[in-house]
Chain A
Amino acid sequence: MSTEQTALPADNFFNQGGKGLMSWLTTTDHKRIGLLYMYSIAIFFSVAVILGLLMRLELIAPGKTIMEASTYNKTFTLHGVIMIFLFIIPGIPAVFGNFFVPLLMGADDVAFPRLNLMSWYLYIIGAAIALSTLVFGEGSADTGWTFYAPYSVKTGTNVSTSVFAAFVLGFSSILTGLNFLTTIHRMRAPGMGWFDMPLYLWSTYATSWIQILATPIIGITLLMIIAERALGVGLFDPSLGGDPILYQHLFWIYSHPAVYIMILPAMGVVSEIIPVFSRRRMFGYKAIAFSSLAIAFVGYLVWGHHMFTSGMSGPARIIFSILTFLVAIPSAIKVFNWLATLNKGSIDLQPPLLYSLGFIFLFLIGGLTGLVNGALATNTHIHDTAFIVGHFHYVMFGGTGFGFFAAMHYWFPKMYGRMYNIKRATRAFWVTFIGFNILYFPMFILGLEGMPRRYYDYLPEFQGWQVVSTVGSWILVTGLIMMFVNIIRGARKGKPAGDDPWNGYTMEWETSSPPPLENFHQAPVFKKPTYED
């Protein structure tokens, strides 16, 4: 990288394994693949953020402001597809998972390095197909990221291509999960038993199981949509005896567990960060490990809560509602254990911890409003309103997004061997955090007052909160820009960080920063105890 700094260890993976673009595009080094994911994800994230900004701008006043209704429909569809399939689902697992799963267990790579590279290519191909709908065919899809039948089968827009893109991206996600599961099973350093694993590995393990067992369902469902559009007759067509609601079942059988694909890795990151910055061992290690598995399993049982007003049978609604409340238990176990770890710790408020605390705060709001959605009676009132939009942005962006930022600030010195500016990072955090709340909190109020989601127009009485929310989006984006500028500057010009700047005790800190090609200079042996005394 830059030349004026010589303090970085010369044998790091940026230097080893070839130079130039081709060496990166053909690499099987898990660290480089992680970075490839990070750079591509950053691009798609920025695109989707811009789409989000445009939507907020449209909503600053009732009626048409900057775009037509149909453009608005396409914008929120693309915003959703990119954010979900290109940012949040691959986000933490593909970037930090790839980089740190082997490092955390003292391995030299993942179990199947070539397959790993193939996942990245599938990801890029899927992304290219998704974005190609903007240019080719009859315009990008306008169905929302959920592609609900029967509209997705009837609309003239380019649904088949978008759906195929999601199918390819699903494959990429499956292969990543498969790789991590095998890696965790087979490649832990000598001496590291299952309950010696860092908690991030536990959350990755649970996540990967969801990727393996739920993603195929969406794959086949999307193929059904494509077949239906190609043949002109289909499985969800009531005139043939089919049932459009079955599509919703199939869709959410995947997409609800997918929510846990998104949030579990973030929880894992927070579970790594909190003990390090409160200088205490993790309170309730096993409880957190098992709660990851419990969330993964219970996550399979609750998909129906997306469909309470769809015409599903009464008993099904009651059962899904009860099961939904069960998810709160393992989630709360985690939150309480994090707080118990912080309690009486010697807290060092560095940016990674700030983002983690931001995560806990926002996830708490997201989680508690989730209970409002999960109750049958209140759900009827707020279904398909801005309340839902507020809820899932608190969980997905406030949760996973902030978890991603926390991981970025925590592991950055290991990845680049340099340190970003701590003061600037702290400032960026506060701007982002405040902007976030100004942007999304009004949505709860608007939703309760009856503002539907996915509408480009609204009644004049909603305008006050809509303006607040739009202003919030500007603050949030300012914060994001501050954060990224600081990070990029740190990667290029930051001071060398040393091997273990945070005084961490997991295995990734034992090697040099950035790590050498095969991670460790000599084969590491796991030293007990890390968490339990």
Chain B
Amino acid sequence: MENNHSHSISDKTYIFIWVSLLILTFLSVEASFVHFRAFAVGVALFIATAKAFIVAYYFMHLKFDSKIIGIMVLVTGIVFLTFIILTFFDYGFREPIV
């Protein structure tokens, strides 16, 4: 059966992934105390997205799954981003209520 494809990640790699996730977590905690001002949210979300990507790519096996699943994930992400961006076209340009 080709269903149970045998590509697997070794336990060592998993532990390496885990350590890198921990490092990123500490990084984002530390970064939150540095005053990046306007960029603070951006930095936090960038690190979070990096972590989410690592989890999806290795832990969730996107690396080895058929490409179609990866495309689906991408489509879902794009659709969600579209929601946020289009909603911001409203709130970003509201006249302040005086």
Show the binding face of A for B, using Cβ within 8 Å. Answer: 185, 209, 213, 217, 245-246, 249, 253, 300-301, 303-304, 312-316, 319-320
Contacts and interface: CB of A to CB of B under 8 A. Distances in A.
B90 A185 contact: no
B83 interface: yes
A300 B83 contact: yes
A300 B82 CA distance: 8
Nearest to A318: B89
Consensus secondary structure, chain A interface: helix
B83 A315 contact: no
Contact of B89 (A253, A300, A313): A313
A213 B86 contact: no
B79 A300 contact: yes
B95 interface: yes
Contacts of A320: 86, 89
A316 B93 CA distance: 8
Interface in B72-94: 75-76, 79, 82-83, 86-87, 89-94
Contacts of A312: 90
Contacts of A303: 86
A126 B89 CA distance: 35
B86 to A, nearest CB: 6
Given A185-B68, A313-B95, A217 B90 contact: no
Residue of B75, B76, B79, B90 contacting most chain A CB atoms (<10 Å): B90
A304 B82 contact: no
A301 B82 contact: yes
Interface in B46-98: 68, 75-76, 79, 82-83, 86-87, 89-95
29 contacts: A213-B79, A217-B83, A245-B90, A246-B87, A253-B83, A253-B87, A300-B79, A300-B82, A300-B83, A301-B86, A303-B86, A304-B86, A304-B89, A312-B90, A313-B90, A313-B91, A313-B93, A313-B95, A314-B93, A315-B89, A315-B92, A315-B93, A316-B86, A316-B89, A316-B90, A319-B86, A319-B89, A320-B86, A320-B89
Nearest to B87: A249
Contacts of B95: 313
Contacts of B90: 245, 249, 304, 312-313, 316
A510 to B, nearest CB: 28
A313 B92 contact: yes
Nearest to B79: A213
A245 B91 CA distance: 10
Given A245-B90, A312-B90, A320-B86, 10 more contacts: A213-B76, A213-B79, A249-B87, A253-B83, A300-B82, A300-B83, A304-B86, A313-B94, A316-B90, A316-B93
A303 B83 CA distance: 10
A215 B68 CA distance: 22
Contacts of B93: 313-316
Contacts of B89: 304, 313, 315-316, 319-320
A213 B91 CA distance: 23
Q: Which 6 A-B pairs have the closest CB atoms?
A: A313-B93, A316-B90, A316-B89, A315-B93, A312-B90, A313-B94
Contacts of B79: 213, 300
Contacts of A314: 93
B9 to A, nearest CB: 25
A98 B83 CA distance: 30
A242 B90 CA distance: 15
A260 to B, nearest CB: 13
A505 to B, nearest CB: 29
Contacts of B68: 185
A213 B76 CA distance: 7
A96 B31 CA distance: 55
Contacts of B91: 313
